[in-house]
Structure 1
Amino acid sequence: MIGTNSGRRGGLLASTAAGLLLTLALSGCGAGSNNTPDAGSPPSASATPSAAATSDPPSSAAPSAASPAAAAPAAAKPAVLSRSEPVALEIPAIGVRTELLKLGLRENGSLEVPQDDGNGAPASWYNGSPTPGERGPSVMLGHVNSPNGRGGVFKDLRQLTPGTEINVSRTDGSIAVFTVDRGELYSKDSFPTLKVYGNTPGSELRLITCDGYDPATGLFDDNYVIYAKLKA
């Protein structure tokens, strides 16, 4: 189980993948259902990066002259923003403008998700992930449907194409602008935990919702994930 500070600076380390399967299957998103989606459990605390693994190396830590790497400078990491929690998400291309809840973990270690009172729920930011603009993947969850029949806040994620802009307003007054890289569909039984949550060299954004509706069960069997990167 991860505390709310785990992984904020650099995401969740991908080096301890064995057995860390995240079932980010928003399985409670049944049509006409008011059930809370079960967003599964993030990787355990053993998978979070140490400070040494996530921070930039100190300038004094140069390789010795005898090292083959001495002649090659370390690759510069992409620029990122300072820490500032998100307050709103806007995706003009699909008409989304939502305030953001800040949710963490349930007692069983699974992710909390927005409660839908029947009129549609806002999206939420997982507060154990980096803030949008920091280095690493910032994670946001949203419903695809709503009991009122009008659809959830993330009902049109599939319409997003590479290059589409996503704006995240932050508490410091700044706006972190991301561009969509791609969208991917995953079965809840084979959700790629580390691909979604693993460390990234720059600032990235993950938008996650339900997909794969099964009319026989009234549930969704899959998740759809948007991958986006901070605009340079």
Structure 2
Amino acid sequence: MRTQNPGRHEGLRAATAAGVLLLLTLAGCGTGTSGTLNAGPPPSASATPSAAISSPVTPASTPPAPAPPSPAAVAGPAVLARSEPATLDIPTIGLRTELLKLGLRENGSLQVPEDSGNGAPAGWYNGSPTPGERGPSVMLGHVNALGGATGVFADLRKLTPGTEINVARTDGTTAVFTVDHGAQYNKNNFPTLEVYGNTPGAELRLITCDGYDPATQLFDDNYVIYAKLKT
């Protein structure tokens, strides 16, 4: 059961996140080495097997500030009241994971899900709207785990338009999203505002690494699932 609250203006939070996320990096996407899942700047060149977290990356230039939402966007489709996510469930690919809450470190880099050897759960970036609020709620997960095992988001490419994604929230409700499409982007040309910018309704972004290069043992790309709140 979903509780509607069409009066909130949570798209503004997504616009703010779009600028901040140019500095975010997520380690652990390499096979047996360190990789990065970043939202804008080139990935770290580090390939040290024991590295757990990559160094923050400084963008080459400051991105333009995103425009505030238009009145039409604010008066868009109904959304849910704020409530932080607890679990992510995608039955078609057998995925169910508890969700960590990821914030920013003092140096501007993103806190990352720690892999202790059994894989790491996905994480929700708490600078983005909660799932069901207006704007894109952002979740990140590893494509693999230590020792070459599969990561929590290893099967995102199997998701097809119309697939349901369930996010259980701490208020006892479940936000149900349907997949719109997936897209692969080179990390050097990540479309930050397209992924993190304001949206007229409640949306979801699932982000992982892609484009594995055997020569470097790193992933050169990101794969993003775009989903919208089911109405």
Alignment TM-score, normalising by the size of structure 2: 0.77
Cα distance in 1 between the residues matched to 2:187 and 2:179: 22
Cα distance in 2 between the residues matched to 1:125 and 1:171: 13
Cα distance in 2 between the residues matched to 1:185 and 1:145: 17
The residue that corresponds to 1:185 in the other structure is 184
Is 1:173 the counterpart of 2:172 in the alignment?
yes
Please state how far the C-alpha of 1:117 moved relative to its aligned partner: 1.0
Contact 2:29 2:218 in 1 (8 A): yes
Cα distance in 1 between the residues matched to 2:198 and 2:71: 13
The letter of the residue matching 2:182 is G
Cα distance in 2 between the residues matched to 1:181 and 1:107: 35
> What are the within-5 Å matches in structure 2 for residues 130-209 of structure 1?
130-209=129-208
For structure 2, the 5+ residue unaligned runs are 1-8, 42-58
Q: Computing the radius of gyration over CA atoms, which structure comes out larger, 1 or 2?
A: 1
Contact 2:27 2:112 in 1 (8 A): no
Cα distance in 1 between the residues matched to 2:175 and 2:70: 21
The letter of the residue matching 2:110 is L
The residue that corresponds to 2:10 in the other structure is 9
The residue that corresponds to 2:128 in the other structure is 129
> What are the within-5 Å matches in structure 2 for residues 1-232 of structure 1?
9-10=10-11, 11-13=13-15, 22=22, 26=26, 28-33=28-33, 35=34, 37=36, 39=38, 47=65, 53-54=68-69, 76-232=75-231
- 1:97–1:21 CA distance, 2 compared to 1 (3 A): closer
- 1:38–1:223 CA distance, 2 compared to 1 (3 A): closer
Please state how far the C-alpha of 1:23 moved relative to its aligned partner: 6.8
Q: Secondary structure at the match of 1:144?
A: coil
Q: Tell me the number of residue pairs that the alignment of Structure 1 and Structure 2 aligns.
A: 202
Please state how far the C-alpha of 1:30 moved relative to its aligned partner: 1.1
Please state how far the C-alpha of 1:76 moved relative to its aligned partner: 4.6
Alignment TM-score, normalising by the size of structure 1: 0.77
Cα distance in 2 between the residues matched to 1:110 and 1:143: 16
Please state how far the C-alpha of 1:224 moved relative to its aligned partner: 0.1
Please state how far the C-alpha of 1:155 moved relative to its aligned partner: 0.1
The residue that corresponds to 2:48 in the other structure is none
Q: Secondary structure at the match of 2:14?
A: coil
Q: Secondary structure at the match of 1:13?
A: helix
CA deviations over 1:135-156 (Å, ceiling 9, x no partner) = 0000000000011433000000
Contact 2:85 2:131 in 1 (8 A): yes
Contact 1:37 1:113 in 2 (8 A): no
Aligned-pair Cα RMSD in Å: 3.1
Contact 1:103 1:127 in 2 (8 A): yes
For structure 1, the 5+ residue unaligned runs are 1-7, 58-73
Cα distance in 2 between the residues matched to 1:22 and 1:104: 14
- 1:36–1:103 CA distance, 2 compared to 1 (3 A): farther
Contact 1:120 1:148 in 2 (8 A): no
The letter of the residue matching 1:116 is D
Contact 2:144 2:154 in 1 (8 A): yes
Contact 2:97 2:122 in 1 (8 A): yes
